[in-house]
Chain A
Amino acid sequence: MDTRDRFMKLLPWISTPVMLALSLGVWTFLVRVVGVSEFILPAPRAVAESLGALLIDPEIWGHVRITLTEVLAGFAIALLLGVVGGAVLGRLPWLEVAVRPALVAAQVIPKVALIPLFVIWFGFGITSKVVVACILAFFPILLNVLLGVRSVDRGYRDVMRGLGASRWATFRDLELPSTLPHVFAGMEVAIVFSVIGAIVGEYLGGNEGLGYLVVVSLNALDSSKLFAVILLLATMGSVLFFAINGVKRFVIPWHESVTGRDIG
């Protein structure tokens, strides 16, 4: 049992490189043997060279910084609004009932379709992208926090009530820790969404950021650079996600999503 557990822990560290090597192999195979055109699928080597050139270019870091700023600002605002909103709605059932139709409507609307509107309202600068990133990130956080506040275990509540715990102590020792896993679940989804929001925002308007770079490469029909920028974006998304995951492991080490029992 113990060795099996250890094996399960090691497995991703083995399987991930294997999968990477495998996809690289298929990629090379498609280019070399099948002979897919350079334009549709540039060779791994060409992409690596483009990436190298991109990383040396000092301009790239300006773009990275812009996109990162948009993502983080949007995410931070969404986190604040989402946590406060979720906590308030969780406490006031009548308010939740009142705003539920609006919430559902806002959920169902494809928010990406609204981006051109935001560009009109907030201009081609950074603001419109922050707004998009924020709106996309807001809903998963709000809904998770709402769920978290609602789902504080009744039995645990009885424990605190039976001890005559104060309002503040009940929050500190019960409500906060039992809601935190939901906050983190929301944040993990939200960070991915805000990256999407910022990039799509940059696709549609403006002249800076990694999304803009994607559009430029596309217009120049420079597909190896396009691939290189996409790789950069993927890396940025992963780093952000794992940063939040790391914070989660630190803040709620006791939770199942961290101890990994739920994966098996």
Chain B
Amino acid sequence: MESQRLLDSQEQASAADPRDARVEARNDDSAGAAARPELELLAVDKTFQTRQGSTEALSDINLSVDRGEFISLLGRSGCGKTTLLRILAGLIAPTEGEVRVGDRSLWHGANRDSEALSKFGLVFQDPNLFPWFSIEDNIALPLKLRGVAKKARRARAEELCDLLGLSGFERSYPRELSGGMRQRAAIARALSYDPRILLMDEPFGALDAMTRDKMNLELQSISITTGATVVFVTHSITEAVFLADRVVLLSPRPGRIRSVVPVTFERPRALESESDSSFQEVVRTLRHELDEEGV
């Protein structure tokens, strides 16, 4: 039913000028002095020290993400996507440069800004659900850490299970769920405290194509209803284009931003739009850029 609705609006959209009203509104916004970017990377470098020597994983990354914007981070394996996301999330510190969240710096020396941290919702490539907690307790873990009372936690977990199609599995353990359901539970956990910023590292990488399509639709509607800013790592070009307002293309060794490609189709988008010629055009551009890197 949901997808039918999405489909209808998409058909209207593709008939009209594909330029999205939402994107334009945002552009106007950022042209004015009012809006600060929600997330900023300023001249970020990351070098890993290993036994073999040092690896420069990221070099001179400058990126600013507006509030409510959906960014796809695209690139080959090993080009530094995960590293970039972990730096954004404050899981690792950049070697050089600065990470800013709103008007605050993420790092103060070796400590992280707790107010900035509290805006993040993280989804990893693996669901990383704790096997000792039920699905409900897993989803509500962030709330527990924030001292929310048990009853309220349970209510919120139930609500999220409804939203993500996990109803009836609240009391199950993670091992009793399928891979796709686990990944949805992981997303529910990230959403539990209404994070302003969602950081996702190939969350659907392990899913089959059909489930993945369905999850992409769900993620789109979540990002629309919550208005959260999303940074989404993937190495699927179609997925990147389908979801994003802007696709950021990384090139490897060291990881640099090669190009930033805006995607301006109206939202909500339907899966069918992936076969539109304008959509295919964007995909082709990106594929061409990736190929140019050579092997």
Interface residues of A (CB under 8 A from B): 153, 155-156, 158-159, 161-166, 169, 173-174, 177-178, 252, 254-256, 259, 261
Contact = CB atoms under 8 A, between A and B. Distances in A.
Contacts of A173: 130, 133, 141, 144-145
Interface string B111-152: 010100110101010101011110000000110110000000
Given A162-B89, A162-B90, A163-B141, A174 B130 contact: yes
B132 A163 contact: no
A161 B91 CA distance: 7
Given A164-B114, A173-B130, A255-B131, A159 B145 contact: no
Given A161-B91, A169-B145, A252 B132 contact: yes
B169 interface: no
B173 interface: yes
Contacts, number: 55
Question: Interface residue tally of chain B, by bracket?
Answer: 20 to 34
B124 A155 contact: yes
Given A169-B145, A173-B141, A164 B124 contact: no
A162 B91 contact: yes
Given A169-B145, A173-B141, A158 B128 contact: yes
Contacts of B131: 254-255
Nearest to B128: A155
Nearest to B112: A164
A173 B145 CA distance: 9
Given A162-B117, A254-B173, 13 more contacts: A156-B130, A158-B124, A159-B130, A162-B91, A162-B120, A163-B122, A163-B141, A164-B145, A166-B145, A169-B144, A174-B130, A177-B130, A254-B132
B128 to A, nearest CB: 4
Contact of A163 (B124, B126, B145, B175): B145
Contact of B128 (A159, A164, A166, A178): A159
B124 A159 contact: yes
In the complex, the 8 A-B pairs of residues with the closest C-beta atoms, listed nearest first: A177-B132, A155-B128, A162-B122, A164-B117, A254-B132, A159-B128, A165-B145, A163-B142
Contacts of B124: 155, 158-159
Contacts of A255: 131-132
A162 B117 CA distance: 7
Contacts of A252: 132
Contacts of A164: 112, 114, 117-118, 145
A162 B122 CA distance: 7
A151 B90 CA distance: 23
Nearest to B144: A173
A85 to B, nearest CB: 24
